[in-house]
């Protein structure tokens, strides 16, 4: 229960910006990842293809910082801190050297190194009891923080309990907005979960131990792989949630009503799904009836009647994210479609964020509140949705009831509006299940 209390505790009126480490160092205090890669070849290659290596140069990060957050920080003092704040997690080298704002990724500065070897392996602790908002303490130097005792290396290695702990990840994975809302809470979600009690850490699920070459010569059968796969990995998302479809009868007469129950069990994720950048992630369930000729009907979810439920049911007429237009200086911007192209009536598992004017927003730094409703699927939680379908008179049996669970990193409407690459918002199939109704 302790973790639960921590989560509910409101942040102070204004979230402190931990800038103790800002501008304390020089770029030359940190080696380039390529230098580490000379000996740690395999780990370098894994890291290089992960989001950690792209945390500043990746298109969506580039767009959100340079087109939205930075201009907003420069004209609106309440959010001024994010000018350096975003950078402390996304381009820590630039933050540590006081290179704020950094030049754009196209300039090829060292900010582009992102969350590099020299960030993680020089972090020695945190200033906070329960870390968040880049509250890391860093000591660059010859000796690297390592995960094993008695390791001999040319650069010296110090065994670090902290590196192996989820609190280490929490320094960047939990975040409070300038308004005191928890806009990222992956660590706090994990802390309350059964995984924390069982001692299953972030590292256990995201660094997959197995055979590997720690250096070109040194083989280990249980090396910590630097894959860091998350929501950008289709393989990691696949089957994360278990699905079941149960109609209340298996024979129907056209014109008759069927009740369908769908169960969704979060079987793989050590925190909520979606987690992390919850302001923009969408997980949704489409339930379709398909007859023998291929004719399809989308079935809307039965309402449950909880507070804020309207934000969890796709509505093609709902508009949101007006703050984007405000920041970009577009007059009378009515927003873009709240739910992208999700079919009307589909259940969306999400946690909506609201700006100080009460509008739903993807601008996490401009989030005043996100406590209205949290309809994501918790670790090992099962959600149950029901559907009522009147089989059309002209349907030709047998009729298949299909349930499809999709994931999108960003609503497609936002992705198109900001001209992001399609890979950033195209739906990814997480799982599917079906049942067949025969006709009498």
Q: Of residues 275-304, which lie at the interface with ligand HEC (CB under 6 A)?
A: 275-277, 281
**204, 21 contact by CB (below 8 A):** no
Instruction: Name the residue whose CB lies closest to ligand HEC.
Output: 276
In terms of Cβ atoms closer than 10 Å to its own Cβ (0-12, 13-18, 19+), residue 233 is middle
Q: Show the tokens assigned to 239.
A: 């089957």
Residue partners of 224: CB distance under 8 A and separation at least 6: 147, 203, 207, 209
Tell whether residue 328 is a contact of ligand HEC (CB under 6 A): no
Of the listed pieces 154-162, 285-293, 332-340, 386-394, which binds ligand HEC according to CB under 6 A? 154-162
Angstrom distance (rounded) from CA 227 to CA 219: 18
Close Cβ partners of 412 (under 8 Å, ≥ 6 residues apart): 340, 341, 425, 426, 427
Of 93-101, 257-265, 274-282, 285-293, the window that binds ligand HEC (rule: CB under 6 A) is: 274-282
Q: Is 176 in the site for ligand HEC (CB under 6 A)?
A: no
Nearest to 247 by CA among 395, 404, 386: 386
Determine the Cα–Cα distance for residues 405 and 418; give it in Å rounded to an integer: 25
* Interaction between residue 383 and ligand HEC (CB under 6 A): no
The closest of 75, 89, 191, 80 to 130, measured between CA atoms, is: 191
CB of 244 to ligand HEC, least distance (A): 19
Site for ligand HEC in 410-429 (CB under 6 A): none
What is the signed CA dihedral for 129, 133, 139, 140, rounded to 10 degrees?
150
Classify residue 314 by burial, with Cβ atoms within 10 Å: 0-12, 13-18, 19+.
buried
Residue 314 half-sphere exposure, CB side, CA atoms within 13 Å?
Answer: 23
Q: Are 66 and 86 within 8 A, CB to CB?
A: no
Question: Residue 300: which residues within 8 A CB-CB, separation 6 or more?
Answer: 313, 344, 345, 346, 387
> What is the nearest approach in angstroms of ligand HEC to the Cβ of residue 221?
10
Q: Choose the stretch contacting ligand HEC; rule: CB under 6 A; options: 38-46, 96-104, 330-338, 380-388.
A: 38-46
Place of tokens 């970009």: 328
Q: Does the protein bind ligand HEC through residue 387 (CB under 6 A)?
A: no
Q: Is 25 in the site for ligand HEC (CB under 6 A)?
A: no
Q: Which of 21, 99, 175, 286 binds ligand HEC (CB under 6 A)?
A: 175
Among residues 220, 380, 390, 416, the one that binds ligand HEC under rule CB under 6 A: 220
Which of 18, 25, 168, 406 touches ligand HEC by CB under 6 A? Answer: 168
- 14-24 burial, b for 16+ CB within 10 Å, e for fewer? ebebbbebbee
The residue from 205, 238, 290, 428 that contacts ligand HEC (CB under 6 A) is 205
Taking residues 42 to 71 in sequence order and writing x for each that binds ligand HEC by CB under 6 A, - otherwise, the string is -xx--x---xx-xx--x-xx--xx---x--
Which tokens is 400 given? 């298949």
Indicate which single residue of 233, 263, 382, 434 sits in contact with ligand HEC (rule: CB under 6 A): 233
According to CB under 6 A, which one of 18, 95, 182, 228 is a site residue for ligand HEC?
228
Non-local (6+) Cβ contacts of 304 within 8 A are none
Q: Between 3 and 254, whose beta carbon lies closer to ligand HEC?
A: 3
| Interface pick for ligand HEC out of 84, 85, 345, 427 (rule CB under 6 A) | 85
CB of 381 to ligand HEC, least distance (A): 13
The window from 4-12, 235-243, 367-375, 392-400 that contacts ligand HEC (CB under 6 A) reads 235-243
Residues 335-364 interacting with ligand HEC (rule: CB under 6 A): none
Q: Which of 22, 93, 96, 120 binds ligand HEC (CB under 6 A)?
A: 120
Interface residue with ligand HEC, options 78, 158, 268, 416 (CB under 6 A)? 268
The only residue of 101, 166, 411, 427 in contact with ligand HEC, by rule CB under 6 A: 166
CB of 260 to ligand HEC, least distance (A): 25
The nearer residue to ligand HEC, 28 or 440, going by C-beta atoms, is 28
Smaller CB separation from ligand HEC, 122 or 389: 122
């Amino acid at each position: 229960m302790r973790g639960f209390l921590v989560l509910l505790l409101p942040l102070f009126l204004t979230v402190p910006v931990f800038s103790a480490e800002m501008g304390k160092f020089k770029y030359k205090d940190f080696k380039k990842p390529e230098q580490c890669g000379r000996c740690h070849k395999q780990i370098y290659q894994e890291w290089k293809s992960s989001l950690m290596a792209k945390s500043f140069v990746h298109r969506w990060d580039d767009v959100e910082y340079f087109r939205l957050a930075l201009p907003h920080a420069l004209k609106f003092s309440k959010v001024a801190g994010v000018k350096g704040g975003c950078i402390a997690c996304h381009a820590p080298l630039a933050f540590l050297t006081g290179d704020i704002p950094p030049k754009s990724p196209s300039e090829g500065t060292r900010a582009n190194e992102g969350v590099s070897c020299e960030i993680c392996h020089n972090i020695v602790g945190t200033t906070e009891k329960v870390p968040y908002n880049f509250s890391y303490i860093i000591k660059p130097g010859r000796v690297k923080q390592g995960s094993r005792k008695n390791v001999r290396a040319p650069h010296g290695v110090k065994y670090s309990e902290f590196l192996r702990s989820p609190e280490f990840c929490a320094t960047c994975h939990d975040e409070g907005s300038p308004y005191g809302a928890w806009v990222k809470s992956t660590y706090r979600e994990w802390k309350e979960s059964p995984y924390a009690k069982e001692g299953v850490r972030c590292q256990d699920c995201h660094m997959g131990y197995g055979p590997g070459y720690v250096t070109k010569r040194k083989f280990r059968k249980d090396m910590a792989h630097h894959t860091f796969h998350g929501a950008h990995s289709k393989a990691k998302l696949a089957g994360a949630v278990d699905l079941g479809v149960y109609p209340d009868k298996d024979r129907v007469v056209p014109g008759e009503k069927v009740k369908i129950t769908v169960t969704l069990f979060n079987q793989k994720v050590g925190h909520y799904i979606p987690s992390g950048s919850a302001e923009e992630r969408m997980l949704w369930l489409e339930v379709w009836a398909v007859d023998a000729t291929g004719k399809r009907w989308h079935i809307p979810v039965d309402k449950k009647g909880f507070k804020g439920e309207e934000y969890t049911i796709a509505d093609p007429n709902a508009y949101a994210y007006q703050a984007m237009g405000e920041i970009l200086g577009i007059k009378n911007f009515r927003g873009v479609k709240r739910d992208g192209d999700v079919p009307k009536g589909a259940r969306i598992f999400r946690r909506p964020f609201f700006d100080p004017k009460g509008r739903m927003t993807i601008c996490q730094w401009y989030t005043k509140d996100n406590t209205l409703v949290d309809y994501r699927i918790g670790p090992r939680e099962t959600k149950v949705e029901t559907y009522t379908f009147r089989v059309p008179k002209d349907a030709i049996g047998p009729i298949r009831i299909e349930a499809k669970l999709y994931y999108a990193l960003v609503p497609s409407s936002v992705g198109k509006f900001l001209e992001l690459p399609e890979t950033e918002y195209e739906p990814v199939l997480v799982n599917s299940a079906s049942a067949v109704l025969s006709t009498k």
